[in-house]
Structure 1
Amino acid sequence: MPDPIDRSGLRPRFWQTVPMGRLSKPEWEALCDGCGKCCLNKLEDEDTSEVALTRVACRLLDNETCLCAQYPVRHRFVPECIVLTPKTIKDNMYWLPQTCAYRLVAEGRDLYPWHPLLTGDANSPHDAGVTMRGQTLSEVSVGDDEWEDHIIEEPT
C-alpha cells in the first residue's frame, strides 16, 4: 500500500500560490521529494564552477529511504550541513538537483508529476526512478581523494 502524504495544514497547491517566504514550516518541508540527491557529496570545478554529483553520500543519508537518519539533529553530526530556507535558496540553487522542488519553485516552475504533493504517495519519486535509493556509498567508506571515481549523472 502506498505511503500516504500527510496533507493536514497544507494549503492546496501552495507551491503555486504562496511566495516562498510565506510558506509555513510544514509546507516548506513538504516540498522535499525525498530523492536524497542534495545529500550527495559534490565536486565543484574551480575554473568553471560546474558541479558534479557523486554517489558518495553524507554519512547520515539512509540509502534505502533517501532521507537523513538524524534530520532534526543533523548539525550535531554534520555541522557543515546546509539549511535551505526561503532566504538561502537563491545562494544555493547552483548545486541543487535539477529536479529539486525548492529549485523549481524558486525558478517559477511547477513540480514534476511524480512529486509526492501531486501523487499523494511518498514512494512515487522512488517508483519514477529519480531517487538515489540503493545507489549511494557512505562518505565514511570512501576517501575524499576517491570521490572523482564516483561521479554520476543526475537521475531525472
Structure 2
Amino acid sequence: MDTLRPQFWTLPLTALTRAEWEALCDGCGQCCLHKLEDDDTGEILPTNVACKLLDTGTAQCKDYRNRKAYVPDCLRLTMRNVADQHWLPRTCAYRLRAEGDPLPSWHYLISGSRETVREAGISVIGRVICETEAGPLEHHLVDWPDAGDQQAFGDWEA
C-alpha cells in the first residue's frame, strides 16, 4: 500500500504516486456534472445535472473503479491530460496544481477536514439533480461559484 508523503500536494504532479494523485481530489463532484458548449463562442456552460453514478448526497462516484463500464465517455484525469481539461472548475485541485498554484485553505489536505469543501460552497452535495431525472440540460444551466464566491450559491438548490 502506498503511503502519502507529508505535504505531497506541494510537489509537481509528475512527482506524485498514484495514491497521492487520487488523494489530491477534494471530492467536490463538479467534474461529474454535465456541461454544454456554446456553438457560437465555444464557452463551456455548467449545469446542475450529475452523472448517473454520482451520489448526490456525498458527491462520490457510486462505482469509481468500474465507472467506464457504465459511462463510457467518463474521462479519467491523468497527469498527462489534466492541463488540457479547461472545463475543470478553477477550484479543482488537479487544475490548480497543474497550473502551479497552491491548494485553497478549504481543501481537506490543508484544513484537515473533508467538510470544509462543503462549508466553502464548492461541493455539489444537495445542489444537483441526477441525469436520469433532469430532462433537457438547457433547463439546468447554473453559474457555479469559485471559492471566493460562497454567496453565489446563496439559497440556490437543485
Contact 1:131-1:155 at 8 Å conserved across structures: no
With normalisation by structure 1, the TM-score equals 0.88
Instruction: Give the letter aligned to residue 38 of structure 1.
Output: C
1:89 to 79, 82, 89: 82
Unaligned runs of 5+ in 2: 147-158
Partner SS for 2:55 = coil
Unaligned runs of 5+ in 1: 1-7
Instruction: Give the letter aligned to residue 119 of structure 2.
Output: D
Instruction: Give the letter aligned to residue 62 of structure 2.
Output: A
Report deviation, 1:84: 0.3
Report deviation, 1:46: 2.5
Aligned residue in 1 for 2:7: 13
Counterpart Cα distance in 2 of 1:10 and 1:118: 14
Spell out the pairing of 1:91-130 with structure 2 (5 A cutoff).
91-92=84-85, 94-130=86-122
Contact 2:83-2:99 at 8 Å conserved across structures: no
Aligned residue in 2 for 1:51: 44
Instruction: Give the letter aligned to residue 36 of structure 1.
Output: G
Q: Which runs of 4+ in 1 moved over 4 A?
A: none
Aligned residue in 1 for 2:21: 28
With normalisation by structure 2, the TM-score equals 0.87
- Superposition RMSD on alpha carbons, in Å? 1.3
Contact 1:43-1:53 at 8 Å conserved across structures: yes
Counterpart Cα distance in 2 of 1:47 and 1:9: 47
Identity %: 48
Aligned residue in 2 for 1:147: 137
Counterpart Cα distance in 1 of 2:119 and 2:111: 11
